[in-house]
Amino acid sequence: MAMTIGRWARHNLFASPSSSLLSLVSIPLTLYVAIFAARWVLFTAHWSVVVDNLAVLLVGTFPGDQIWRALVAGAGLSALFGMTLGLVLIAKRWKRYVVIAAALAVAAAVSYGMQLQWLAGAFGCLSIALVACAATSRWPQIGRGMGLLWLLGVGALCALLVPAGVDRWGGLLLSVLVTVIATLLSLPVGILLAFGRNSRFSSLRLACSGYIELMRSVPLVCTVYWSWIIIPLVFPPDIHIPDLARGVAGFVLFYAAYAAEYVRAGIQSVPRGQSEAAQSLGFSKLDESFIVVLPQALKAVIPALVGNVLDLFNNVPALFIIGLTDFLKAGQTVLANPQYSSSQYEVYVFLFAAYLAIGSLISYGARRIELKMSEGAR
C-alpha cells in the first residue's frame, strides 16, 4: 500500500484542527532552525579551532614522542568496541560495514597525506572499529569470550600506556579509558554486593544494603573527591598513587552500588525453580549462585547494565574535581587560550556532537540487545 506524501501529511500533520495549528507553527520554526544551523555549521563557524587542537581534545597532554602508544590504544579500544557492537547488530549488513570501513581507510590515508595526522588517526580508528564490527557480525563465534577479551585487552592497553606517564593521559582517550576501567572493576564488586544483599545472613545483608544505599544517596563528585582524599592516607607514604587511580577508585565505589542494584533486579527475575533445581542436584550454595543464577541474572539485565555504562561515560567529566583533563575539560583548556576564546560555540558544538555520537551508539547498542533478547525469549 503506497503512502503518498499527501496522505502521509494528512495523517501525521493535519489530522485534527489543533494538530494543523501546531504544524503551521512548528513547520516554519523547524525550517528556520534547520537553515540557521546549516548556515552556521557550513559558513559561519571557524572549524580551524577544532582541527588545530584535535591533539589536545583527543589525548590531552600526552607526550609527543610517545604518541604511538595513544594511537595503538585508540586502535585497540576501537577494535574492542567494534567487536562488541558487531555482536548485537544485524548480521546481514556486514558487507555494508566493510564498504564503509574501506571508505574510512581511504579517508584516513588522504588526510594523512594532507598532514592532518589526527584526522587520519580518528578515521583509522573508526575504520578498525567497523572492520571488527563486520567480523563479529559475520562470525559471531569470535565474540564468544567478549568479557574476558575486554579484561585482557584493557589490561594490555593500560600496560602499554603507563610508560607515557599516567598523569599525562587526557582528552577523549582518558574519558573512554575511565569508562571502561570503572565498568570492568565495578561490575564484579556490584555482583558481590548484590549477592550480599540477597544473602541468608542478616548481618551481611545489612552491611551490603547499607553500603548501596549510602552510595546511592551521595553525589558522584563527593565520592570521587572523598576517595581522592582518603587513598593517600590509607596507603603507606612511599607508594605514589596517581590522581587517576584515586579518582577511578571513587567511580568504582560509586558505580558498584548501582551495578549491584541492577544485578539484584536480575537475580530476582530468575525463577525460583532454577535455584531449587540446583539444590536438588546437590549444588553447593556457591555453585548455585555463580553457575546457575548469576549467568541468567546477568543476561536479563544486560540492557540496563549497558545503560549504566552510558551513565558512567556521561559522568566522567566529574573528574575535573581532582584536576584531570578529560574530554570536556580538554575543550575548556582550549578555550582558556585567549587566541581561541572567541570560538567557544565551535568547541562546544564539537564536544556535544562527539558525546552525542558515542552516547547514541551506546544507547542504540542497549536497545539492540534488548530487542535481540526479546526475540530469543519468544
Residue type, 298: L
Q: Alpha-carbon distance 59 to 66, whole Å?
A: 11
CB 139 to another protein: min, Å: 30
Q: Can you tell me the distance from the alpha carbon of 295 to that of 279, in angstroms, rounded to the nearest whole number? A: 16
**Which residue, 244 or 259, is less far from another protein as judged by CB?**
259
Distance of CA 143 to the CA centre of its chain: 19
* Residue 318 touching another protein (CB under 8 A): yes
| Helices of type H across the chain | 5-12, 17-39, 48-52, 54-59, 67-88, 94-113, 117-138, 146-161, 171-197, 202-217, 220-234, 243-269, 272-280, 285-287, 294-315, 327-336, 344-377
At position 13, the amino acid (one-letter code) is: L
Chain positions 184 to 213 lying near another protein, rule: CB under 8 A, are: 200-204, 207, 209, 213
Subset of 229-258 contacting another protein (CB under 8 A): 229-230, 232-235, 237, 258
Name the minimum Å distance from CB 315 to another protein.
Answer: 7
Applying CB under 8 A, which part among 23-31, 67-75, 155-163, 177-185 lies near another protein?
A: 23-31
> Which of 166, 348, 367, 373 is in the footprint of another protein by CB under 8 A?
348
Q: Which of 19, 48, 284, 337 binds another protein (CB under 8 A)?
A: 19
User: Nine-digit cell at 189?
Assistant: 564488586
Among 21-29, 80-88, 93-101, 277-285, which window interacts with another protein (CB under 8 A)? Answer: 21-29
Please select the residue that binds another protein; options are 36, 47, 139, 345, rule is CB under 8 A.
345
Burial of 283 (0-12, 13-18, 19+ CB in 10 A): middle
Minimum CB distance to another protein, residue 98 (Å):
27
CB of 91 to another protein, least distance (A): 25
Q: Which is nearer to another protein, 161 or 259 (CB)?
A: 259
* Residue number, 94 or 350, with CB nearest to another protein: 350
Q: Contact between 323 and another protein (CB under 8 A)?
A: no
- What's 199's DSSP letter? -
22 binds another protein (CB under 8 A): yes
| Interacting residue with another protein among 100, 221, 241, 245 (CB under 8 A) | 221
Q: Can residue 173 be called a binding residue for another protein (CB under 8 A)?
A: no
Q: Give residues 255-314 in contact with another protein (rule: CB under 8 A).
A: 258, 261-262, 264-265, 268, 272, 301, 304, 307-308, 310-311, 313-314
Are 284 and 212 spatial neighbours (Cβ–Cβ below 8 Å)? no
Burial grade of 355 (CB within 10 A; 0-12, 13-18, 19 or more): middle
Alpha carbons 43 and 273: distance in angstroms, whole number: 64
Q: Under DSSP, is residue 114 helix (H, G, I), strand (E, B) or coil? A: coil
How far is 259 from 148, CA to CA, in rounded Å?
A: 18
Contact residue for another protein among 109, 149, 344, 368 (CB under 8 A): 344
Per rule CB under 8 A, count of chain residues that contact another protein = 71
Q: What would you measure as the largest C-alpha separation in the chain, in angstroms? A: 76
Check residue 219 for interaction with another protein (CB under 8 A): yes
- The binder of another protein chosen from 49, 54, 302, 316 (CB under 8 A): 316
Binding another protein (rule: CB under 8 A), the pick from 10, 26, 37, 371 is: 26
Say whether residue 363 binds another protein (CB under 8 A).
Answer: yes
Shortest CA distance to 248 belongs to which of 158, 182, 306? Answer: 182
